[in-house]
Structure 1
Amino acid sequence: MGTIADEGTALAGVQRALAALREPASAGTVMDRGLRALCTHCGFSRAVLFRLEGSELVGEAIHFEQQPEWAAQLLLETRRTPMPMKHTVLETEMLRRRTAGLVLRPQDDPHAFKALTEPFLTRSYAAAPLVADDRVVGFVHADHYFEPDRHVDERDRLLLAAFSEGFAMALHRAVLIDRLARHRQALRRLIGEAGEVAEQIGSLDGGLARADEDLHASLRSAAASGGLPVDERLRSLLTPRELEVLELMASGATNAAIARRLVVSEQTAKTHVSHVLRKLRATNRAAAVSRYHAITNRDR
């Protein structure tokens, strides 16, 4: 009964560790949360996450229950000295079989990667592959370093295997969330740039200053005689987007407010305002709005 009770307690620890990963977050946050939860709820004192990059394992995140400065130094070491996944390294067989394993005496094992086990002062450790989309994307290593008389055992291997399965799913979800966020940002940027390019294509900017002067003269004449409708007068002078900007300026909107309303960058909104001022021969926003009201008879 004691063994069954111990197994139940261990599995409950894995459940608590994975529960810490339920809330959606960035990949980096999930990595840190996961390693911390693994140590807190599953009894390990050190945990390291490696990503599989080509045929090497490169350190990506680390958590020590003690001595965080040492942990940071060792994480840098795992990046300076990636673990090659070749037949002489124990993790290669774990990757091939996609199963967790134990390395009980790395200091004496010719297949242990001494370039990392020695600076880590490793006595024994458990390792498990992270499998997402039916492929191994990384590894988790964990041990009991800060308990000098304790070594990893079969129970630790099973715990790490169970945790790593859920951890891989949480990391996969986080990577997708990060990717979606990047795509959204890129799409917003493209929309803003496309709007700016469209306005530049449709604009009469550059080389038509004399025509603008003649147009102003004809507008003044038309306004006096009532020969042109109000909308036609403005459309003859400004692009559709500049008309929107002028309407917003007349309502008292700032450049930031115009940018939000038109879903463009604030710099693009500022450029539109500058075009409006130039075409209306206005020295500032107030003068532009005054001329807008004069043309549309809104101040009468």
Structure 2
Amino acid sequence: MRVLERCAGIDDPERFRFTVVDAIRSTFGIRDVTFFAGASYDAAFADPNPVLTGAAAPLLDEYQARWRDKDVFATDRARRILQRDGYLEVADLQALPAPQHSYVVDYLVPNGMTVASAIHLRTRSGDALVGMFDSRRQFDRDDVVAVRFLATQLRAHASAVSFDTGDQLRVLLSPRQLDVAKLVARGLSNAEIAREMTLTEQSVKKYVSRIFTATGCPNRAALTARVLTESPRGG
């Protein structure tokens, strides 16, 4: 497959992004292809420097400000399918929650992205999502088989590529949440953070839970590692 041939041996992250996007566009005749990467699945949606083509390109600011949290591929069900199978079409998701239904009806459709699908990649530094959007081009059975095969093979290539995710905590977290995350990284307990920030311990528990959800970190140790890794970039 031409996509795999073009991506073989590429370990430079930016070159890999652009090569994947261009190869998928030219091979499958898809109008709009996007590439988002992050330190976790959730963090990928906050990628500050994604690759976007076609109608999606001028919509980044609107997407990040209004639609990122409502993205149809950000639901738990979509995540499970993509992480398991590597490929998913929006048409396969039934009974979308209200925010995701609005994302489709009020964002994708008006911008000519009525046919939407995604490939999930596990990279050396986290996760990446390749979005494919068009107004008319729909995959037939042979196309779906080819894209599923592509997703499996691209995962092998992507596993060697490390993307710079250093600024994403500032994108994913509010200033208050970032302060809590830094105190967690210093080894403080919830009670100690509560005293430090003049909060109730219950409020701190809620902050920490939301931070775990936003960053994709499963526990305090993972969050600490993430904060310490990114701190030199932003203080």
TM-score calculated relative to the size of structure 1? 0.41
8 Å contact 1:124–1:152 — kept in the other structure?
no
Deviations 1:111-167 (A, max 9, x none): 48346433232322222221347x97122221332xx3x433443333222223333
Cα offset, 1:43, TM superposition: 2.6
Residue correspondence of structure 1 range 111-130 to structure 2 within 5 A: 111=97, 113-114=100-101, 116-117=103-104, 118-121=106-109, 122-130=113-121
RMSD (Å), alpha carbons: 3.6
Distance (whole Å) between structure 2 residues aligned to residue 154 and residue 27 of structure 1: 31
Q: From 134, 145, 152, give the equivalent of 1:158.
A: 145
Superposition deviation, residue 91 in structure 1: 1.6
Distance of aligned partners of 1:167 and 1:105 in 2 relative to their CA distance in 1, 3 Å threshold: closer
The residue that corresponds to 1:33 in the other structure is 19
**Deviation string, structure 1 residues 271-296 (Cα, Å, up to 9, x no partner):** xxxxxxxxxxxxxxxxxxxxxxxxxx
SS of the equivalent of 1:104 reads helix
Q: Decide whether the 8 Å contact of 2:40 with 2:127 is kept in 1.
A: no
Higher relative contact order, structure no. (Cα contacts within 8 Å, ≥ 6 residues apart): 2
CA offset digits 1:69-107 (Å, max 9, x no partner): x432223344432448443xx52231353342222288x
**Cα distance per residue 1:191-249 (max 9 Å; x no partner):** xxxxxxxxxxxxxxxxxxxxxxxxxxxxxxxxxxxxxxxxxxxxxxxxxxxxxxxxxxx
1:37 deviates by 0.4
Provide, for residues 21-60 of structure 1, a one-character-per-residue CA deviation record: whole Å limited to 9, x for no partner.
2353520121011111011012322212233554524155
Question: Can you give the 5+ residue segments of structure 1 that lack an aligned partner in the other structure?
Answer: 1-14, 179-300
| Correspondence for 1:169 | 156
- Whole-Å Cα distance in 1 between the matches of residues 83 and 158 of structure 2? 21
Among 50, 67, 92, the alignment partner of 2:36 is 50
**Structure 1 residue aligned with 2:185:** none
Q: 1:75 aligns with which of 55, 60, 67?
A: 60
Per-residue deviation, residues 256-277 of structure 1 (Å, max 9, x unmatched): xxxxxxxxxxxxxxxxxxxxxx
- Out of 29, 50, 58, the position equivalent to 1:61 is 50
* Residue 131 (structure 1) aligned with residue 127 (structure 2): no
> Would you say the 8 A contact 1:123–1:151 is kept in 2?
no
User: Is residue 140 from structure 1 mapped to residue 126 from structure 2 by the alignment?
Assistant: no
Q: Hey, what's the Cα distance between the residues in 1 that align with 2:102 and 2:36? A: 15
Structure 2 residue identity aligned to 1:61 = P
In the alignment, is the contact (CA less than 8 A) between 2:41 and 2:126 conserved in 1?
no
Conserved? CA contact 2:88–2:117, under 8 Å: yes
Of all paired residues, the percent bearing the same amino acid is 13
Residues 86 and 119, structure 2, Cα contact 8 Å, conserved in 1: yes
> Would you identify which runs of 4 or more consecutive aligned residues in structure 1 move more than 6 Å?
none
Letter in 2 for 1:158: V
Corresponding pairs, count:
153
Structure 2 gaps of 5+ residues are 165-235
Rounded to whole Å, the distance in 2 between the matches of 1:47 and 1:138 is 13
- Does structure 1 retain, via aligned residues, the 8 Å contact 2:11–2:161? yes
